[in-house]
Amino acid sequence: MKQVTSIPDLAGKRIVLGLTGGIACYKSAEFLRRAQDHGAVVDVVMTPAATHFITPTTMQALSGNPVFIDTDDGRVSNSMAHINLGRSADAILIAPASADFIAKLAHGMADDLLSTLCLARGQCPLLVAPAMNREMWAHPATQRNVAQLRADGVVILGPGSGSQACGETGDGRMLEPHELLSDLIDHFQPKHLAGKRVLITAGPTSEAIDPVRVITNRSSGKTGYAIAQAAREAGAQVVLVSGPTSLPCPRHVLRIDTESAIDMHAIVMNEATQADIFISVAAVADWHVINSSQQKLKKTEQGQGLPELQFAPNPDILAEVARLSDGPWCVGFAAETENLHEHAEAKRKRKGIPLLVGNLAQHAMNADTTQFVLFDDKGHQALPAQPKLSAARELILAIAQRHSSIQAKSQGTHRK
317 is in an annotated binding site: yes
What pLDDT is attached to residue 308? 86
What pLDDT is attached to residue 365? 76
Region for 272 from its dihedrals, namely left if φ exceeds 0, alpha if ψ lies in -120 to 50, beta otherwise: alpha
Task: Please give the radius of gyration of the chain, using alpha carbons only, rounded to the nearest integer.
Answer: 26
Write out residues in the chain with pLDDT < 50, as ranges: 414-415
Q: Residues 35, 15: contact at Cβ < 8 Å? A: yes
What pLDDT is attached to residue 3? 54
What pLDDT is attached to residue 395? 97
Residue-wise pLDDT for 321-338, tens only, equals 999 998 999 999 998 888
210 is in an annotated binding site: no
Which domains does the chain carry? 14-188 (3.40.50.1950), 197-291+307-411 (3.40.50.10300)
349 is in an annotated binding site: no
333 is in an annotated binding site: yes
At 389, the amino acid letter reads: L
What pLDDT is attached to residue 73? 66
CA atoms within 13 A on the CB side of 211: 4
Q: Residues 372, 348: contact at Cβ < 8 Å? A: no
318 is in an annotated binding site: yes
pTM of the model: 0.90
Q: Residues 278, 199: contact at Cβ < 8 Å? A: yes
Burial class (CB in 10 A: 0-12, 13-18, 19+), 191: middle
351 is in an annotated binding site: yes
Q: Residues 289, 260: contact at Cβ < 8 Å? A: no
Residue-wise pLDDT for 50-72, tens only, equals 999 999 999 999 999 999 998 77
From CA 107, how far away is CA 308, in angstroms rounded? 74
Residues with catalytic roles:
166
